[in-house]
Structures are given as C-alpha cells and as structure tokens.
Amino acid sequence: MPNPSPVNAVLVINSGSSSVKYALFTDSDQAVLTGLAERLNTAEAQLSWKSQGEKQVKTLPNAQVGDILPLLLAQVSKQISGLDNLLAIGHRVVHGGELFSEPTRITHDNLVQLKSISHLAPLHNPANIVAIEILLQQQPSIPQVAVFDTAFHQSMPEKAYRYALPNALYHQHGIRRYGFHGTSHQFVSQQAMKELQWPKQTGMIVAHLGNGCSATAVYQGQSLDTSMGLTPLEGLMMGTRSGNIDPSIPTFLQLQLGMNAEKVEHILNKESGLLGISELSNDMRSLLDARNKGNELAKLAIDMFCYRLAKEIAGLATALPHWDALVFTGGIGENSKPIREQTISNLAAFGLKLNPDANQEPEAHGHLIHQADSRVQIAVITTNEEWQIASQSLSLVQQ
C-alpha cells in the first residue's frame, strides 16, 4: 500500500548515459521504492523497480531518459499519494569542480555554471545534467538539489590536490586532483564514528571497493587525501579501470602502436583492471571462484588488486596525524572476506592483525574484524550513498 502521509519524502536520481537509477525515501534510511532503467537508447531498454518487496519489469524499446522520468514520477506519486508530498529531488552529480563544494539547490543560473565544468567529467556530468534539465522544466515547483561526488574532498590541502605540473595548468584549466565517491566516504566515516563510538579525532582510512574503487584518509570528519584524481581513473586497480600507471604509457600507445586518444581512453577505462589482467571478468566473485579452480590469471588479478590496495592505504596514512582505523565498504569491501584478509596480510608491517572469525561475520562482532592487539582498528561498514544524497538534499531545502 502507498504511504499516505510521508513526513520527509525525497527522491534520489542517478542519471547516466545509458541508465537511470533511483530511490525514494520517506521516514527512514531504507528506500520504499527503488528502480533502474538500463540499456537506454537500445532495443533492449527496460525499467525494473521494487516496492514492498515486489519487483516488476517493463520493456521499453529505445527509451531515452526523457521517457523514463515521467514513469518513475508516476511511481513516486502513487507511493506518496501525490507529488505535492515530494519535498526534494536529489541528483547525484559526479563532478563539481571547485565551483561546488557542498550540496547545491539547482537554479537556471547555477545550471549554467554546472555546464561550464562538464569538460572535467565528459562521460558523466552531461548525462547527470540531462535529467536535471528535464525535471526543471516538467516539475519546476519541486526543489532539485545536486550532490557532488567531489564535494567531500574539497577539504584536501593544496599539497594533496595539486599535481607537479606547471602552475598555469591548474590556475587556467583546473587540472588538479578532485577525488570521487565522496558521498560514500562521508557517509561511511560518519557512520563508523556513530556506530562504533569512535571520537572525531579518529584518523581513519576508508576503502570503498566495488567495480570502481577508491580510498580516502579522513580526520575530524574531513577528507585529507584520496586515491582518485582529476578523473575516477587515478588510484586503485578497479573492475575495468587501470588505476595508476606510468603517465608515458598513453603516449607510447599513441606513438608506437598508432592508437588515437579515444582508443587509449577506452582501454584504460573499459578494458583494464581486473578484466584486463584476468581476461575473464571484472566481477570479483567470478575471479575468486576461478582462482579456487586454479586459474592463474585470476589469481594474478586478485594478487595485484590486494597489493595495490594495501600500498595505497599505507601511503594515505601519511596524510593523517595518527592512523587509528581502516574501514572497508562497497560491494567488495562489505562482502568479500578473502579480499579483506589478503589486503590486511599485506599491511602486516604496520601492525594490522585480522580476527579470522570476525572477518567471517562482521555484523556479529559489532562491525569490528581486528584482533585485540592490532595497532589499527579494522571495521566493515555498509555504505548508503542514496540515503546520504537524500538526507543532504532534505537538509538543504529545509534550511
């Protein structure tokens, strides 16, 4: 049955070039409606949604974002007895540059500013903006809020966010490290302090591990450094992204192998990482299964992933006045016991000690998976990026 009188109804939209993911929150951090439109602009386009435990699927051949939004708004309206009860629409926007360092209520004026930095995330921001523009036109009375993946990292000091490039490239073109997954890192670090009663002065490193991966050093609730940079390609080895490589490799691929820039970018973003090394899959579950069956390339991919993750974590510790905690989150971080175990074994020199029993069932051990004599506390915290966007959007419109 629809919720007849929600107190705080907020819709969260994550619009991509070929998909739209959405979630409706009312009076708790658990969504009452979730949905995903995928394979948009193709004959296989479809919309699936779930409410009250019931999942439905509708095929929508060649549907575009503009076709999906009225359908999902109709679902929302039914759920909360009319769109008049919707207090805000929160949009996940990947890149805010230096213009947007906090959640922002969208107006026609600052939408122009947002478009002006689309070049910083050409694969993401234009798709985010499409949904915003359509809803501004169709539902002008509903407040829309942009919540930026980069915003949480705007607290990084200049020594952390600058590249060792000529100053003009930063001052005139904005080439610097911005960081991403900010909503997840912010939510998880706050949730860890809340659930584990850690003080604000806890120096922690949060490892968000999924198909995209990043790690962030957090102190007093602020990001001091993070693994991703100008784009989400920098940093850790990921599902299909290479992470850190020699900066001369793209030039080598262009000059020696005759590849154009688009081909190089495609290889680094779509054909590398776990997929590129294993030649099998970008899914960690499939690789762990293949490793257990003796697949050497799967083993190599996993070994590289855990080694490079540990190496990045160790480096990020230098951003903290003291390193007190390591937190795993994201699909891999929350669910893959072998990856947590192997990564922590690579950090033995820093005194990290895993409790094997707790690693099997983190929830049963209060989220903590370290031994009593470990120099660094180790936790597993479930992320909830959609709720973070919803709560920030609600807070802004209620001010």
CATH number of the CATH domain containing 356 = 3.30.420.40
Establish if 4 belongs to a structural domain. no
Shared domain for 144 and 202, answered yes or no, is no
Establish if 68 belongs to a structural domain. yes
- Give the pLDDT score at 137: 94
- As a whole number of angstroms, the distance between CA 30 and CA 325 comes to 27
- Give the pLDDT score at 5: 57
Contact of 193 with 156, CB cutoff 8 Å: no
Shared domain for 334 and 233, answered yes or no, is yes
- The alpha-carbon radius of gyration of the chain (Å, integer) is 21
Which amino acid belongs to residue 5?
A: S
Count helices and strands (H / E) in the chain. 15, 13
Contact of 142 with 135, CB cutoff 8 Å: yes
Task: Cite the active site residues.
Answer: 149
Contact of 149 with 226, CB cutoff 8 Å: no
Would you give per-residue pLDDT tens digits along the chain (399 residues)? 444 556 789 999 999 989 999 999 998 999 999 999 999 999 999 999 999 889 999 999 999 999 999 999 999 999 999 999 999 999 999 999 999 999 999 998 999 999 999 999 888 899 999 999 999 999 999 999 999 999 999 999 999 999 999 999 999 999 999 999 999 999 999 999 999 999 999 999 999 999 999 999 999 999 999 999 999 999 999 999 999 999 999 999 999 999 999 999 999 999 999 999 999 999 999 999 999 999 999 999 999 999 999 999 999 999 999 999 999 999 999 999 999 999 999 999 999 999 999 999 999 999 999 999 999 999 999 999 999 999 999 999 998
Q: Where are the beta strands (DSSP E) in 94-188?
A: 104-105, 144-148
- Give the pLDDT score at 322: 98
- Give the pLDDT score at 23: 98
Contact of 194 with 202, CB cutoff 8 Å: no
Contact of 344 with 397, CB cutoff 8 Å: no
Shared domain for 361 and 212, answered yes or no, is yes
- Give the pLDDT score at 1: 44
| Domain final residue pick, 148, 169, 189 | 148
- DSSP tag of 23: E
Establish if 352 belongs to a structural domain. yes
- As a whole number of angstroms, the distance between CA 77 and CA 72 comes to 9
- Residue span of the structural domain in which 85 resides: 9-148
Shared domain for 25 and 131, answered yes or no, is yes
Establish if 81 belongs to a structural domain. yes
- As a whole number of angstroms, the distance between CA 136 and CA 259 comes to 41
Shared domain for 236 and 360, answered yes or no, is yes
- Give the pLDDT score at 6: 65
Structural domain count, the chain = 2
Shared domain for 208 and 349, answered yes or no, is yes
- Give the pLDDT score at 8: 86
Shared domain for 244 and 373, answered yes or no, is yes
Establish if 174 belongs to a structural domain. no
Shared domain for 143 and 289, answered yes or no, is no
Shared domain for 205 and 353, answered yes or no, is yes
